[in-house]
Amino acid sequence: EVIDPAVPHTTKTFEDYLTLIDSKDIKFTEGRAGMTRDIGGGVMEVLHPISPSSDDLNDSSIVVKVTMGEVSFLFTGDVERVSEEEMLARNEPLKSTILKSPHHGSSTSSTPAFIRAVNPDTAIIMCGRDNKYGHPHRETLETYTKMGIDIYRTDIYGDIIITTDGQTYDININKPIE
């Protein structure tokens, strides 16, 4: 099953994505806040969006919380400040052990209020090395550091693999990329 905000894009990549879903006969579900799925030993909750718009693709990103026993993960896509504020206003259950940093660690997201609500032990920032956007931004790194959050970045470590038994979790990283 693919859970997607179902907001059309005009790129060839998006067209190829839809073609692949169709050719593999994969179930396509429009993701909306309030949806849940049993994932065998855990639960996945969609926290955002309520009504996505093609006017802002980043803020139409799906935000998912996955809970496995005592360990939870918040996957935030590319949401920015507006979406963070919407989820806070709706009192979404944001508190999570591990946060996939919104929008590659951009300063347009990871507001202090949002990060306080998530209160993660660890933040994973997915960004390319020497990317043209300068991700992650200094402000975001400072927010995480001031709050005592451990930071792992794909531009430094490459693949970051997290495993959990529902009670504890392990983070497996490569040596820093040279």
pLDDT one digit per residue (tens) for the chain, 178 residues:
999 999 988 889 999 999 999 999 999 999 999 999 999 989 999 999 998 888 888 999 999 999 999 999 999 999 999 999 999 999 999 999 999 999 999 999 999 999 999 999 999 999 999 989 989 999 999 999 999 999 999 999 999 999 999 999 999 998 777 6
- For residues 94 and 74, is the Cβ–Cβ distance under 8 A? yes
Contact 96, 126 (CB under 8 A): no
Q: Which residues of 84-98 are buried (b: 16+ CB within 10 A; e: fewer)?
A: bebbeeeebebebbb
